[in-house]
Amino acid sequence: QLQASGGGLVQAGGSLRLSCAASGRTFSDYNMGWFRQAPGKEREFVGGIRWTGITYSTNAAKGRFTVSRDNAKVTVYLQMNSLKPEDTAVYYCAAASETKILSSLFTPGVYAYWGQGTQVTVSS
């Protein structure tokens, strides 16, 4: 069970930090990913962090989005900087088994658990 929070309305160039709190299961040994979905578009990968602590992201996200985790707090974070209007979407956190290989972690289908999503709106 994952609960995403921290979304909201922010002006272009601003920052937000999303949180994903886990409960009911030990997610510390899971790979955790962040995805987003804008209206009319497919869900796309944003960034993630392996159970080892190694992060993985797309080239588009590098330099602006950073994923981190606090296993003691059972929480994963997505720090988003220099936000743009095209970053507007519902953001979801998700968990995939530690056995998944890195190349598969960029696709939604390998994630077994999903949070409910949090809306991020970036105004121009």
Percent of the chain with pLDDT over 70: 100
CA dihedral 44, 124, 3, 109 (to 10 degrees): -10
Quickly state the pLDDT bin for 78 (edges 50, 70, 90): very high
In this prediction, residues 86-113 reach a mean pLDDT of: 92
Residue 29 confidence (pLDDT): 84
Quickly state the pLDDT bin for 112 (edges 50, 70, 90): very high
Among candidates 44, 43, 45, which has minimal Cα distance to 55?
A: 45
- Which of the residue ranges 21-35, 56-70, 81-95 has the most confident prediction, judged by mean pLDDT? 81-95
**Gap between the Cα atoms of 50 and 69, Å rounded:** 9
In this prediction, residues 74-82 reach a mean pLDDT of: 94
Quick: pLDDT tens for 3-31: 999 999 999 999 999 999 988 777 888 89
Quick: pLDDT tens for 30-59: 899 999 999 999 999 999 999 888 999 887
Contact between 43 and 36 under an 8 Å Cβ cutoff? The reply is yes
C-alpha 118: how far from chain center: 10
Among candidates 28, 30, 36, which has minimal Cα distance to 7?
A: 36
Contact between 107 and 96 under an 8 Å Cβ cutoff? The reply is no
- Which of the residue ranges 4-8, 68-72, 104-108 has the most confident prediction, judged by mean pLDDT? 4-8
Residue 80 confidence (pLDDT): 96
